[in-house]
Structure formats: structure tokens, C-alpha cells
Amino acid sequence: MRQDDNFTYLKLDTNRFKSWDESLKYIPFIRQSTLSFGGEWREQYQSYQHVNFGDVPDNFTTENPQQIMHRMMLHANWEWSPRFRVFAQLNNTLRFLNDNPITSTLDQNALSFHQAFLEWNIKPNLALRVGKQEYTWGLERLMALKEGPNTRQPYYGATIKWHHENQKIDAFIANPIRQNTGVFDDVRSSEVVAGSIWNHTFSKKTDFFDAYYFYMESSQRVYFLKNGLEARNTVGTRWYSEKKTFNYDVEMAAQWGHFNDLTIQAFLFVYDFNYEMKRHFFLGFSGNWVPGDVSNEDQQLNTFNTLYSRPPFGQTVSLNITNTLNISPYIRFSDNHKWMTTLRASLVQRASLRDGIFTPNMSALLPVLGRQIESDARGVANIFALDAHYFANKHLTFQFELGFCKAGDYLKDLGPGKDVQYLATRAAYKF
């Protein structure tokens, strides 16, 4: 993360001939304080054929847009003692070429303070961070940076961070930021999210365990085509490994609370296993079972809310894992140095016929008010995607994405249900 990039080795480096980017770190300032500067410049080209399965608003000029997504982020870090620092980050994200109206809050934010926080190191292993900041944990299935979209997600919050040997605990309370497209026009949303995350690293440092609790209160989410007051608790665990011949990642979570006069009872199960068949080549099998609502006539809501998750199927389609049964085999090449390439198929069905499907930010994708809302079809989509990352050096990375989504019967029953084709290239320079 940009606010936690580790350049501490430079504090003891007396070499006068640092690289240009290293010379921007720990510049002597007032008294014993230091200033550090950094940033990122990213350009991304995207091309869609039948964006959102051809289900676009009437004011769209085309359902086959192409666009350039520009992002520039600059930050400064002021440490005026070993115990205090101030971090500030400017964000500039713009969309070009696409004449369609901007519908996603993550597409453009002309200028904003993306982050601005004060951090107090109360003890060597205990810190308090207060202000505008980012949150991400695990594989971002519940709290995410949303790095893939053009604009990342910030929060106004207070965070306690503690670590000791192989243990880490984060606890926080925050309001998500509602981002707008103009200059310094972002506002604090009415949603409240709080939680605590415990991470344990086992002795060989290849196996890990997370346990977490989140509380969210909101009146902005929609179920059964209705708004309401939602108070939702989430408790979950994640067991996972890294850098082994056989790797695993299993996450389970349960939710309870209320939505209007309905009692919430929902759960999530996600898994990912891969095996290194030959050096750097992995065969993987992943997926999820996230049941939706069982009945529209009982007093329960069984729809799982993924809170502030990343897009689970990449940028090809804006589809959530809520109310889906997904099987996703893949092949991956990863040399842990220059390349990571994944070829994946995701076969997605509805888990419950009495519930719809959702976007990653938990707005209803289908059904749509004013159209047919009932269907007994299960098939949502079959998604085939190629994603290649090349890390040229510590500054420069490239990414190429190619995706094809075959629309299922459910999308055809309740909407245009056109197949989606997606192509993207991305270059990012970080310093």
C-alpha cells in the first residue's frame, strides 16, 4: 500500500548516490523531521462489446464503448518524530473517449484528497491512525481497495493497529466516502462500518489464519427492489497458505441482523486450491457457494452482503458472488519475479431462484423495476478470462486482460442477455 511502502532502510543509508526516487524519501525538514514524496501514474485502455450484457440506460450512445482510464496519485509523508507522522495523498482520475454518461462512482474523480491521516505510534507495536484512509484485508472479499477500477475506495475512520511476533490485530470504525466526479466534491456517506481483524502466522510462515468481525449500518442497499434500514453483523474465518507446492484458501462467514422488519440470516463459503504441477505452473480449482434469499414471503432475508468487496470476476462483468454457485478452474504461471498469468473459466449459476443477482457494490443487477422480475432459470454466465501481469522493474508494471462472458438463461429472461467481450491493457509507473 502506498501509505505503508517500506523505505526505512534509507534512514541508515549514507550513500550520496541514491536513485532519483530514493532521493525523494526522508528529506531533512524542520528540526529532526523528514519529508518523503511518491506517487503513481497509471493509464488503462478498455474496450467492451455489449457492456453490462447490453442492458444500458436509454441515454447511452453505445453499448460497445472504448475508453481510456487515467489515474495520477501523488503523496507526501511527514515524520516529525519516530512516534508521529502525517500522510496526505492527492487523486486525479479521468475517463476519456467514452461519450456515455458516467454511471460508476469509481470511473472518474477529477481531484480529491484521497487520503489524509495522522498516525501516532503509541508503542513500537501499537499505532492509532485517524483521518481519511484506505482499508483492505484478506483477498478483499469484504473490505477492498478496489485497485482494478479507476478510483480506489477511501474511508473516514479511526484505526488501531497492533502486532506482536506472529500476531496482528486491526480494529476500526469508519464512514465510506461517497465519491463524485468533480474537484474536491467528495462527501462522507451515511453508512457506518466497524470491525476487528486478527491475523495469525504459523511458525513456517507459509500458513495463515484470519478471524474477523464487521458491523455495518446502512439505508442505501436494496433488496426485493426496496430500500430500508439495514444493520448487519458479519463474523468469519479464513485459512490459507502461500508459496507451497499445494496451496489452499478457504473462507467462511455468517451474517445476522435486520433489514426493515426482516431478520437477516446469511452465509458465505469461498475456496481456492492450486497445485504446482511443474516449476512455476499451477493447476487451480476455485469457486464459491453464497446462497441468496429463500423466500419473499417469510420474515427472513438470506441475501449475503459483501459490504465493500472488490469485483470478484475482474472488469469483464460487474457481477457479485452474492446468490451464486460458481465453479472456477484455472491454469496459472507465476515465477514470483517478472510474470503472473492466469487463464480462468468461471461457471456461474444462481444459488436461489427466489433472489436476483447483484453488482460488486451490492446494487441490484437483476431484476429491474418495471420489467419482468420472476424467472426459474439458474444460468447466469460462463466467463472465460486471460489476465497477464509483467513486472518490468520496481517502478513499471504492465497488464493485459481478455475476457468473454456467455450470458445465461437468467440474463436472457430478464434483460437483453447479450454476450460480453472485453479487452484491456494497462501500464502503471510507481515511485
Output the pTM of the full model. 0.93
Q: Domain for residue 210, yes or no?
A: yes
Alpha-carbon distances of 380 from 209, 240, 348, rounded to whole Å = 32, 29, 6
Beta strands in 261-314 (DSSP E): 262-278, 281-290, 300-301
How many angstroms separate the Cα of 234 from the Cα of each of 21, 143, 357?
42, 12, 20
Domain for residue 18, yes or no? no
Measured torsion, CA atoms of residues 137, 141, 146, 148, in degrees rounded to the nearest 10: 120
Give the residue-averaged pLDDT of 287-312: 95
Q: 372 — phi, psi (to 5°)?
A: -55, 135
Instruction: Work out the mean pLDDT of the chain and round it to a whole number.
Output: 94
In a domain, residue 285? The reply is yes
What confidence tier does 225 reach under pLDDT thresholds 50, 70, 90?
confident
User: Which of residues 23 and 62 earns the better pLDDT score?
Assistant: 62
Task: Please report which confidence band the pLDDT of residue 430 belongs to, taking 50, 70 and 90 as the band edges.
Answer: very high
What local confidence, expressed as pLDDT, does residue 9 receive? 64
Q: What is the pLDDT of residue 21?
A: 86
Q: How many domains does the chain have?
A: 1
Give the pLDDT band (50/70/90) at residue 429: very high
pLDDT tens across 111-155, in order? 999 999 999 999 999 999 999 999 999 889 999 999 999 999 999
CATH code of the domain covering residue 34: 2.40.160.100
- For 93, the domain range is 30-430
Classify residue 3: in a domain, yes or no. Answer: no
pLDDT at 1: 47
HSE-CB at 213 with a 13 A cutoff on CA atoms is 5
Cβ-in-10-Å burial (0-12, 13-18, 19+) of 280 comes to: middle
Decide if 15 is inside a domain. no
pLDDT at 357: 97
Look at residue 23 and tell me if it is in a domain.
no
Query: Is 21 part of a structural domain of the chain?
Result: no
Residue 4, pLDDT above cutoff 80: no
Q: How far apart, in whole angstroms, are the C-alpha atoms of residue 429 and residue 94?
A: 17
Please give the average per-residue pLDDT across 326-355, as a whole number.
96
Per residue in 9-35, pLDDT (tens digit) is: 666 655 656 788 888 999 999 988 999
Q: Position 213: which residue type?
A: Y
pLDDT at 184 over 70: yes
Residues 268-283: what's their mean pLDDT? 97
- Each residue of 96-121: pLDDT tens digit? 999 999 988 899 999 999 999 999 99
Q: What pLDDT does 3 receive? A: 76
Residue 104 within a domain: yes
Average confidence (pLDDT) over 234-262: 97
Rg of the Cα trace of the chain? 22
Give the per-residue SS3 of 15-60. Answer: CCCCCCCHHHCCEECCCCCEEEEEEEEEEEEEEEECHHHHCCCCCC
Structure letter (DSSP) for residue 306: -
Averaged pLDDT, 190-201: 97
pLDDT at residue 10, rounded to an integer: 67
% of the chain at pLDDT higher than 90: 87
To the nearest 10°, the Cα dihedral for 133, 209, 140, 54?
-170
